[in-house]
Amino acid sequence: PGQQVAPPVDFRGRAGYVIATAPTRAELVETLDRAAALIGFRLRQPQARPASTHPLVDRAARETRSTVEVGGVAIGPDTFTLVAGPCAVESAEQTIEAARMAKAAGAVLLRGGAYKPRSSPYGFRGLRADGLRILAEVRAETGMPVLTEVVDSRDVELVAGWADMLQVGTRNMQNFGLLEAVGDSGKPVLLKRGMSATVEEWLLAAEYIALRGNSDIVLCERGIRTFEPSVRNTLDLSAVLLAQARSHLPVVVDPSHAAGRRELVRPLARAAVAAGADGVMIDVHPDPASALCDGPQALTSSDLSGLAGQLEDWAALAGRLPRQLLDPERGVVR
Amino acid sequence: PGQQVAPPVDFRGRAGYVIATAPTRAELVETLDRAAALIGFRLRQPQARPASTHPLVDRAARETRSTVEVGGVAIGPDTFTLVAGPCAVESAEQTIEAARMAKAAGAVLLRGGAYKPRSSPYGFRGLRADGLRILAEVRAETGMPVLTEVVDSRDVELVAGWADMLQVGTRNMQNFGLLEAVGDSGKPVLLKRGMSATVEEWLLAAEYIALRGNSDIVLCERGIRTFEPSVRNTLDLSAVLLAQARSHLPVVVDPSHAAGRRELVRPLARAAVAAGADGVMIDVHPDPASALCDGPQALTSSDLSGLAGQLEDWAALAGRLPRQLLDPERGVVR
Amino acid sequence: PGQQVAPPVDFRGRAGYVIATAPTRAELVETLDRAAALIGFRLRQPQARPASTHPLVDRAARETRSTVEVGGVAIGPDTFTLVAGPCAVESAEQTIEAARMAKAAGAVLLRGGAYKPRSSPYGFRGLRADGLRILAEVRAETGMPVLTEVVDSRDVELVAGWADMLQVGTRNMQNFGLLEAVGDSGKPVLLKRGMSATVEEWLLAAEYIALRGNSDIVLCERGIRTFEPSVRNTLDLSAVLLAQARSHLPVVVDPSHAAGRRELVRPLARAAVAAGADGVMIDVHPDPASALCDGPQALTSSDLSGLAGQLEDWAALAGRLPRQLLDPERGVVR
Amino acid sequence: PGQQVAPPVDFRGRAGYVIATAPTRAELVETLDRAAALIGFRLRQPQARPASTHPLVDRAARETRSTVEVGGVAIGPDTFTLVAGPCAVESAEQTIEAARMAKAAGAVLLRGGAYKPRSSPYGFRGLRADGLRILAEVRAETGMPVLTEVVDSRDVELVAGWADMLQVGTRNMQNFGLLEAVGDSGKPVLLKRGMSATVEEWLLAAEYIALRGNSDIVLCERGIRTFEPSVRNTLDLSAVLLAQARSHLPVVVDPSHAAGRRELVRPLARAAVAAGADGVMIDVHPDPASALCDGPQALTSSDLSGLAGQLEDWAALAGRLPRQLLDPERGVVR
| Residue B4, pLDDT score | 61
Q: In D, what residues contact B, Cβ < 8 A? A: 6, 9, 11, 13-25, 27-32, 34-36, 38-46, 225-227, 229
Residue among D198, B193, D245 at smallest CA distance from C226: D198
Specify the range with the lowest mean pLDDT, choosing from A147-161, B190-204, C137-151, D46-60: D46-60
Residue among C196, C266, C203, C285 at smallest CA distance from C236: C196
| Residue D332, pLDDT score | 44
Query: Using CA atoms, how far apart are residues C131 and C127, in angstroms rounded to an integer?
Result: 5
Please give the average per-residue pLDDT across C223-236, as a whole number. Answer: 96
Residue B334 confidence class, pLDDT cut points 50, 70, 90: very low
Query: Using CA atoms, how far apart are residues A143 and B155, in angstroms rounded to an integer?
Result: 67
- DSSP, res B307: H
Residue among A27, A43, A131, A69 at smallest CA distance from A333: A69
Contact across the interface for C198 and D234, Cβ inside 8 Å: no
- DSSP, res A149: E
Residue among B282, B270, B296 at smallest CA distance from B109: B282
Query: Using CA atoms, how far apart are residues A92 and A75, in angstroms rounded to an integer?
Result: 27
Residues of B in contact with D6 (CB under 8 A): 39
CB atoms within 10 A of CB D112: 30
- DSSP, res B333: B
* For testing contact with chain B, the best of C150, C155, C172, C234 (most B CBs within 10 A): C172
Specify the range with the lowest mean pLDDT, choosing from A255-259, B45-49, C72-76, D20-24: B45-49
| Residue A328, pLDDT score | 46
Chains in contact with chain A (at least 3 beta-carbon pairs closer than 8 A): B, C, D
Contact B199, B244 (CB under 8 A): no
Q: In C, what residues contact B, Cβ < 8 A? A: 53-54, 117-122, 125, 151-155, 171-172, 174-178, 195-196, 201, 204-205, 207-208, 211, 225
Residue-wise pLDDT tens digits, B166-185: 999 999 999 999 999 999 99
Structural domains of chain C sorted by starting position, each given as residue range(s) with its CATH number in brackets: 1-46 (no CATH), 59-325 (3.20.20.70)
* Residue % of chain B over a pLDDT of 70: 94
C-alpha torsion angle, residues B209, B212, B214, B219 (rounded to 10): 10
> What is the ipTM score, two decimals?
0.90
Specify the range with the lowest mean pLDDT, choosing from A89-98, A317-326, B188-197, B227-236: A317-326
3-state secondary structure A113-125: ECCCCCCCCCCCC
Contact across the interface for B53 and C174, Cβ inside 8 Å: no
End-to-end CA gap in chain A: 53
**Which of B236, B259, B317 is closest, CB to CB, to A234?**
B236
Q: Is the pLDDT of residue A161 over 80?
A: yes
Chains in contact with chain D (at least 3 beta-carbon pairs closer than 8 A): A, B, C
Query: Using CA atoms, how far apart are residues D79 and D277, in angstroms rounded to an integer?
Result: 10
Average pLDDT, chain B: 92
* Residue % of chain C over a pLDDT of 90: 77
Please give the average per-residue pLDDT across A215-240, as a whole number. Answer: 97
Contact across the interface for D27 and B14, Cβ inside 8 Å: yes
* Residue % of chain B over a pLDDT of 90: 77
Contact across the interface for D239 and C245, Cβ inside 8 Å: no
Residue-wise pLDDT tens digits, C11-27: 998 888 999 998 888 88
B128 φ/ψ sector (left φ>0, alpha ψ -120 to 50, else beta): left
Residues of B in contact with C150 (CB under 8 A): none
**Which of B175, B205, B211 is closest, CB to CB, to C175?**
B175
Residue among A88, A79, A130 at smallest CA distance from A106: A79
Which stretches in chain D have pLDDT values below 50?
A: 1-2, 327-334
Please give the average per-residue pLDDT across C266-293, as a whole number. Answer: 94
| Residue D107, pLDDT score | 95
Residue-wise pLDDT tens digits, C297-330: 999 988 899 999 889 899 999 989 765 455 444 4
Residues of C in contact with D262 (CB under 8 A): none
Query: Using CA atoms, how far apart are residues B125 and B103, in angstroms rounded to an integer?
Result: 26
Backbone angles phi, psi at B30, to 5 degrees: -60, -40
Residues of C in contact with B53 (CB under 8 A): 120, 122
Q: Is the pLDDT of residue B112 over 90?
A: yes
Q: What is the DSSP string of A183-213?
A: HHH-S-EEEEPPTT--HHHHHHHHHHHHTTT
Contact across the interface for B208 and C152, Cβ inside 8 Å: no
Backbone angles phi, psi at A242, to 5 degrees: -65, -40
| Residue B331, pLDDT score | 44
Closest CA–CA distance from residue C143 to any residue of chain D (Å): 32
Q: Is the pLDDT of residue A329 over 70?
A: no
Q: How far is CA B177 from CA B74, B321, C111, in A?
A: 28, 37, 22
3-state secondary structure chain D: CCCCECCCEEEECCCCEEEEECCEHHHHHHHHHHHHHHCCCEEECCCCCCCCCCCCCEHHHCCCCCCEEECCEEECCCCCEEEEECCECCCHHHHHHHHHHHHHHCCCEEECECCCCCCCCCCCCCCCHHHHHHHHHHHHHHCCCEEEECCCHHHHHHHHHHCCEEEECHHHCCCHHHHHHHHHCCCCEEEECCCCCCHHHHHHHHHHHHCCCCCCEEEEECCECCCCCCCCCECCHHHHHHHHHHECCCEEECHHHHHCCHHHHHHHHHHHHHHCCCEEEEEECCCHHHCCCCHHHCECHHHHHHHHHHHHHHHHHCCCCCHHHECCCCCCEC
Query: Using CA atoms, how far apart are residues A327 and D192, in angstroms rounded to an integer?
Result: 49
Q: How far is CA B288 from CA B94, B293, C98, in A?
A: 11, 9, 56
* For testing contact with chain B, the best of A237, A297, A312 (most B CBs within 10 A): A237
Please give the average per-residue pLDDT across A68-91, as a whole number. Answer: 95
Contact across the interface for C274 and D274, Cβ inside 8 Å: yes
Contact across the interface for C274 and D273, Cβ inside 8 Å: yes
* Residue % of chain C over a pLDDT of 70: 95
Contact across the interface for C29 and A22, Cβ inside 8 Å: no
Strands A17-21 and A9-12 turn out to be: antiparallel
Residue-wise pLDDT tens digits, A37-52: 888 898 988 776 778 9
Closest CA–CA distance from residue C11 to any residue of chain D (Å): 36
Query: Using CA atoms, how far apart are residues B227 and D228, in angstroms rounded to an integer?
Result: 8
Please give the average per-residue pLDDT across A3-10, as a whole number. Answer: 76
Q: Is the pLDDT of residue B1 over 70?
A: no
* For testing contact with chain B, the best of D33, D41, D225 (most B CBs within 10 A): D41
| Residue C3, pLDDT score | 54
| Residue C128, pLDDT score | 96
**Biggest CA pair distance of chain A:** 86
Strands A81-85 and A42-44 turn out to be: unpaired
Residue among B292, B235, B290, B285 at smallest CA distance from B260: B235
Beta partners for B280? Answer: B82, B253
Contact across the interface for D45 and B44, Cβ inside 8 Å: no
